[in-house]
Amino acid sequence: MTKAVVLLSGGLDSATTLAIARSENYACHCLTVDYGQRHRAELAAAARVAQALGAAGHRVIALDLGAFGGSALTDPAIPVPEKSGAGIPVTYVPARNTILLVLALAWAEVLGAQHVFFGANAVDYSGYPDCRPEYMRAFEALANLATKAAVEGRSLQLHTPVIHLGKADIIRCGAALGVDYVLTVSCYQASPEGRACGRCESCRLRREGFASARLPDPTRYLDAGEGDSHTRH
């Protein structure tokens, strides 16, 4: 089996991306970055998803981006907005996706893997600059100059299989591949147990995705009244 590093946040997009990589028969080494995110419940979600989807391994690496701050996801003093405004929202974490990708690149080189899977999405993506296809191409170009592996002819391929899919299509695709979305956490301010606020941008995109896909929303909301009936267990 061909090895791949799969960036796994514990959210819906990365769980689906892992399921796609598994369906393509990659041996998936999942990487989760504990960057000081407010929604730490996603770290436990990542471990559950990696196990449920048959990852070859799962590693969590710590990097405290709270030391820099500048985002509602890493600075507790900046509240998570509940309405989407114009422009790039305060949930944008400076250079975060580049940090995630380069850590995946580093681990891939150590493992001898030439494939990295990343669940970035350019449709329902909240306007983040580091979710765009041209950004992904620039990262791949950099990766293929940056490493000993590349210099020696083992180039890196970056796979972003959900980049052009809307949330509903991502959910349909993952459901067809057996992803159990109750294991995942998308909410930017999830409770320590992984219950979702139901009000932030990430919750809104996720809920609309299940509705458009005409699939029951298994999300466990803090206010059980906001979720689907079978969320109340």
Chain residues that interact with its own copies, rule: CB under 8 A: 59, 61-65, 67-70, 88, 92, 94-99, 102-103, 105-107, 109-110, 129-130, 132, 134-135, 138-139, 141-143, 145-152
Identity of the residue, 88 or 176, whose beta carbon is nearer to its own copies in the bound complex: 88
- Cα distance between residue 164 and residue 58, in whole Å: 26
For residue 75, the minimal CB distance to its own copies (Å) is 9
For residue 152, the minimal CB distance to its own copies (Å) is 8
For residue 215, the one-letter residue type is L
For residue 207, the minimal CB distance to its own copies (Å) is 26
Identity of the residue, 95 or 182, whose beta carbon is nearer to its own copies in the bound complex: 95
- Cα distance between residue 45 and residue 187, in whole Å: 12
Q: Find out whether 158 and 4 touch, Cβ atoms under 8 Å.
A: no
- Cα distance between residue 21 and residue 37, in whole Å: 25
- Cα distance between residue 101 and residue 160, in whole Å: 11
For residue 212, the one-letter residue type is S
Identity of the residue, 30 or 103, whose beta carbon is nearer to its own copies in the bound complex: 103
Q: Which pairing describes strands 115-117 and 3-7: parallel, antiparallel, or unpaired?
A: parallel
Identity of the residue, 67 or 77, whose beta carbon is nearer to its own copies in the bound complex: 67
For residue 63, the minimal CB distance to its own copies (Å) is 5
Identity of the residue, 141 or 176, whose beta carbon is nearer to its own copies in the bound complex: 141
Residues across the chain: 233
For residue 228, the minimal CB distance to its own copies (Å) is 35
Cβ count within 10 A of residue 91: 21
The residues with which 116 forms a beta bridge, in sequence order, are 5, 158
Identity of the residue, 152 or 214, whose beta carbon is nearer to its own copies in the bound complex: 152
For residue 232, the minimal CB distance to its own copies (Å) is 39
Contacts of 135 (CB under 8 A, 6+ apart): 97, 129
Closest by CA to 9, choosing from 159, 171, 219, 184, is 184
